[in-house]
Amino acid sequence: MRKSWLGLLGAVGLSLTACIREEAPNAEADILSCVVPGDVLRADPEISNETVLLYVRSEAEVEALAPEFTLTEGATIVPASGTTRDFSRPQVYTVTSEDGLWEKNYTVRCVLSSVGTYYDFERVRMEPRNGRFQIFYDLFSGDTIDWASANAGYALTGMASSPEEYPTTQWPDGYKGKCARLETRSTGTFGGWVGMDLAAGNLFIGAFDVANALSNAPKAAHFGKPFEHVPTYLSGYYKYRAGDCYIQNGEAVSGRKDQCDIYAVFYETDENTPYLDGSNALTHPNLVALARITDQRESDEWVHFNIPFVRQEGKEIDEEKLRGGGYRLGVVFTSSIKGDLFEGAVGSTLLIDEVEVSYE
């Protein structure tokens, strides 16, 4: 009997060894990090699903930059990492997975300006890969600044058959012209399986990491872009209606009412904190100033808000670091205040328009 067990264990061991030895090639095709030789960047590169932003100094010569990339294991990139290219216009790189079955095109471009301060939500373009949902963008000092949302995560649920069925969309009836429309939506059967029963409509200055959308959703929202001023007020207009049935942990909660949220964070970056995310933006020690609405209400008429940035206790501004891109501004809107925890009411809808950040 003992010999039989030893034989079985040996066979299992050989089998496991063979599995390890014959492990399938990696199927991922991602850029993990990026560095640019020379003193040309004023902030760390920002990498999202298909874009790399290089925040360069205003005096930088961008016609001959040679960014170097770290890729997922076994992946290759064309042109090769370290190739000198003219970044006065966006450049496209193609990453191929180790198994050769997957490719991803990354657009790498330089951003010379800081993020803008006035947002009217008049401009959208379709998601570049499949055209499934809208992406808001603004033009500022010749640069295109994209807004982020969790629409890419919602696409995983299969619940939307058109761009208008995503949580974050453009709406024709704004305070002036068009506006942003954020609606909390059901995630259907898929969401129920993974404990994510709804998805709040959200829109924020920053980037969305779809790779974390299922494993750690709050950390998937990276808030902020470099900002070279000290903000004083966040203002704009909104309309809001809460959905009928509040959901918590997949169950209806009687008497509970959903709320929207509107806020902005101004924070300092360092080598350990390149950005704040949905899990720590309101509590992180690097937070310098916070502007957050406290009297949000339901209304079918446009409501004006003008929220002061409140400096956190003991926080001072390093003027040299401010000029060098060491501070970031994130502006955040959501149709369900606890949407990051997958709580709220399906149908809660926030319209937002004519937003401005005032600064010293």
pLDDT at 18: 45
Beta bridge partners of 237: 304, 353
Contact between residue 221 and residue 153 where contact means Cβ atoms under 8 Å apart: no
Q: Are strands 206-208 and 202-204 parallel, antiparallel or unpaired?
A: unpaired
51 and 147 Cβ atoms separated by less than 8 Å: no
DSSP conformational letter for 192: H
- State the Cα–Cα distance between residues 265 and 222, nearest whole angstrom: 12
Please give the single-letter amino acid code of residue 81: S
Global pTM exceeds 0.75: yes
Of 236, 235, 124, nearest in space to 178 by CA: 124
**Sequence-distant (≥ 6) Cβ neighbours of residue 132 within 8 angstroms:** 126, 151, 155, 160, 163, 166
> DSSP readout, 82-106?
T--B-TTS-EEEEEE-TTSS-EEEE
Report the DSSP beta bridge partners of residue 113: none
Give the chain's count of helices (H) and strands (E).
5, 30
Helix (H, G, I), strand (E, B) or coil at 176: coil
Q: pLDDT (tens digit, 0 to 9) for every residue of the chain, 360 residues total?
A: 334 333 433 444 444 444 444 567 788 899 999 999 988 887 788 888 788 989 887 778 889 999 999 999 999 999 999 999 999 888 999 999 999 999 999 999 887 766 678 999 999 999 987 899 999 998 776 667 789 999 999 999 999 999 999 999 999 999 999 999 999 999 998 888 888 999 999 999 999 988 777 788 889 999 999 898 999 999 999 999 999 999 999 899 999 999 999 999 999 999 899 999 999 999 999 999 999 999 999 999 999 999 999 999 999 999 999 988 899 999 999 999 999 999 999 999 999 999 999 998
What values do phi and psi take at 236, rounded to 5? 160, -160
Q: Which of 42, 68, 63 is nearest to 54 (CA)?
A: 42
DSSP 8-state assignment for residue 350: E
* pLDDT at position 14: 40
CA-to-CA dists, residue 176 to 64, 180, 235, angstroms:
42, 11, 15
Give the whole-angstrom CA distance, residue 353 versus residue 303.
10
The string of DSSP codes covering 293-345 is -S----EEEEEEEEEEPEEPTT----HHHHHTT-EEEEEEEESSTTGGGT-EE
